[in-house]
C-alpha cells in the first residue's frame, strides 16, 4: 500500500450464491473496494460483474496480476478453495476464504504453506465467533465459571430440499463438497465448539443418507472426548424438516449455558455474578444469523466484520482474527468423524 488512506482492492473468485454476500459486505466496509470478479462460468460471471459494475476477469492469473487487487475472497465450491488460495497467497496477496477452508487436511496444509511462502494474509469465514452470545460464552469459559467442563455439544439440525443438492452439481459430493451435512452446514458449529472449549481428542461417529438422493451424508451423530476430560456430541443434519436453530450447549460442575442461533437461552452458575440476570435479555444478539432452512437467509454482518478485520490486518501488518491455522482445526475434527464412520472405530483427531 502506497498510502494508508488508499482503498484495499478486492476481487471475488467464484460468482455463485455466496458471492453476493461478499460483494455487499465489501461495499459496507470503508476502505475496501470491490474491483472485479472471476468465475469459471462465463455467463454467470458476466452477469455478476455487470450487476456490481466491476471488472470481469477471464482468468485467475489476471486477478493476481492486477496491481489494484490486494485481496481476494474465495467463494468457489469447497474442494476448489486451495486451487485459488494457493496462487493468490504465493503472490503475496491476502485471502478471505469461505468455509470450509478446504475439504482435506492435505489441501488445507498446502494453503497454509503458500501463506508462509508468499507472505500473504489468510483469513477464514467463521463469522459465528463474532456473535454476542458466542462472545459471552467464551468469556465465561475462559474465566472458569463452569468449573470442570463435563459436556460440550453442538447441534445443527437443519433442512435442505432435494433441489439444493440436485441443481448444484457439487453439493453433497465427497470430492468437491468434502461431505454433506457436517462438512458444509455443520462446519460453523464445529469451529465454534472447538474455539470455545478446545479440539476434541477422540471421536466416534455414525452417518447416513436418509432424506435425499446424494453421495454424502444428510444425517450424522458423533461422540466426542476432549483432552480435559469432558464428553460431548455433534449432531448435524440437512434432513430435519423444517429445520432448527444452531445450538451450542456447555455444561460443567459449576454451571450450564446454552446458545441458540447466538441467543443465550440458559445461563445458570453456582456462583452468580453481577450482570448474569441481564444476559438472557440478549441485547445485541442475533446479528450474525444462520441458515436453518434457507442458505440465502443470512445477514451480511458476519462477512462485513471479517472484511473489515482483513482490511485492518493488511494496513497494520498483523494476522487476521481468524487465521488459517484456526480453520484447520475444524477440518481435522470433521475428517476424523468421517474416518470413524467409514472404519466403525474410535479415531484420534489430528493436531
Q: Domain check: are 38 and 163 in the same one?
A: no
247 occurs within a structural domain? yes
1 occurs within a structural domain? no
For residue 35 the three cell numbers come to 474491483
pLDDT for 77-103, tens place per residue?
A: 999 999 999 999 999 999 999 999 999
- Rg of the chain in Å (alpha carbons): 20
The pair phi, psi for residue 259, each rounded to 5°, is -120, 135
Q: Is the peptide bond before 339 cis (omega within 30 degrees of 0)?
A: no
For residue 175 the three cell numbers come to 470430492
pLDDT at 161: 97
28 burial via Cβ count (<10 Å: 0-12, 13-18, 19+): middle
pLDDT for 267-314, tens place per residue?
A: 999 999 999 999 999 987 766 656 565 666 678 999 999 999 999 999
- CATH of residue 104's domain is 3.40.50.720
pLDDT for 133-148, tens place per residue?
A: 999 999 999 999 999 9
228 occurs within a structural domain? yes
pLDDT for 56-68, tens place per residue?
A: 999 999 999 999 9
- Are the C-beta atoms of residues 279 and 258 closer than 8 Å to each other? no
The count of structural domains within the chain is: 2
102 occurs within a structural domain? yes
Q: Is the pLDDT of residue 3 over 60?
A: no
Q: Which domain holds residue 86?
A: 8-127+299-323
- 92 Cβ contact list (under 8 Å, min separation 6): 118, 119, 120
Q: Domain check: are 148 and 274 in the same one?
A: yes
Q: Domain check: are 74 and 165 in the same one?
A: no
| Of residues 315, 304, 306, the one with CA closest to residue 70 | 315
Q: Domain check: are 174 and 151 in the same one?
A: yes
Q: Domain check: are 139 and 189 in the same one?
A: yes
pLDDT at 1: 46
Q: Domain check: are 215 and 339 in the same one?
A: yes
Alpha helices (runs of H) in the chain, residue ranges in sequence order: 17-27, 42-52, 60-65, 81-90, 105-118, 132-142, 162-166, 187-197, 276-279, 301-316, 324-343
Amino acid at each position: 500500500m502506497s498510502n494508508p488512506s488508499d482503498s484495499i482492492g478486492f476481487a471475488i473468485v467464484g460468482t455463485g450464491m455466496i458471492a453476493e454476500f461478499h460483494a455487499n459486505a465489501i461495499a459496507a466496509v470503508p476502505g475496501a473496494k470491490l474491483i472485479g470478479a472471476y468465475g469459471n462460468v462465463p455467463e454467470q460471471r458476466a452477469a455478476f460483474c455487470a450487476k456490481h459494475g466491476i471488472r470481469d476477469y477471464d482468468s485467475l492469473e489476471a486477478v493476481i496480476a492486477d496491481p489494484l487487487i490486494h485481496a481476494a475472497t474465495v467463494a468457489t465450491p469447497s474442494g476448489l478453495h486451495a486451487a485459488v488460495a494457493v496462487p493468490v497467497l504465493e503472490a503475496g496477496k491476502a485471502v478471505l476464504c469461505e468455509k470450509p477452508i478446504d475439504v482435506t487436511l492435505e489441501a488445507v496444509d498446502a494453503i497454509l504453506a503458500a501463506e508462509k511462502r508468499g507472505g500473504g494474509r489468510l483469513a477464514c469465514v467463521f463469522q459465528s465467533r463474532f456473535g454476542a452470545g458466542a462472545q459471552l460464552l467464551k468469556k465465561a469459559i475462559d474465566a472458569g465459571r463452569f468449573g470442570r467442563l463435563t459436556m460440550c455439544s453442538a447441534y445443527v439440525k437443519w433442512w435442505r430440499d432435494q433441489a439444493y443438492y440436485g441443481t448444484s452439481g457439487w453439493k453433497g459430493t465427497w470430492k468437491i463438497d468434502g461431505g454433506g451435512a457436517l462438512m458444509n452446514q455443520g462446519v460453523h458449529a464445529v469451529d465454534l465448539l472447538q474455539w470455545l472449549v478446545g479440539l476434541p481428542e477422540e471421536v466416534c461417529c455414525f452417518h447416513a443418507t436418509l432424506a435425499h438422493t446424494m453421495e454424502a451424508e444428510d444425517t450424522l451423530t458423533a461422540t466426542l472426548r476432549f483432552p480435559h476430560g469432558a464428553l460431548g456430541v455433534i449432531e448435524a443434519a440437512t434432513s430435519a424438516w423444517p429445520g432448527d436453530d444452531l445450538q451450542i450447549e456447555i455444561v460443567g460442575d459449576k454451571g450450564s449455558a446454552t446458545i441458540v442461533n447466538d441467543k443465550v437461552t440458559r445461563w445458570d452458575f453456582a456462583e452468580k455474578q453481577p450482570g448474569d440476570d441481564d444476559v438472557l435479555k440478549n441485547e445485541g444478539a442475533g446479528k450474525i444469523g444462520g441458515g436453518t432452512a434457507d442458505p440465502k437467509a443470512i445477514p451480511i454482518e458476519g462477512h462485513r466484520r471479517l472484511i473489515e478485520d482483513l482490511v485492518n490486518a493488511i494496513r497494520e501488518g498483523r494476522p487476521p482474527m481468524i487465521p488459517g491455522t484456526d480453520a484447520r482445526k475444524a477440518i481435522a475434527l470433521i475428517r476424523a468423524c468421517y474416518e470413524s464412520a467409514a472404519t466403525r472405530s474410535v479415531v484420534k483427531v489430528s493436531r
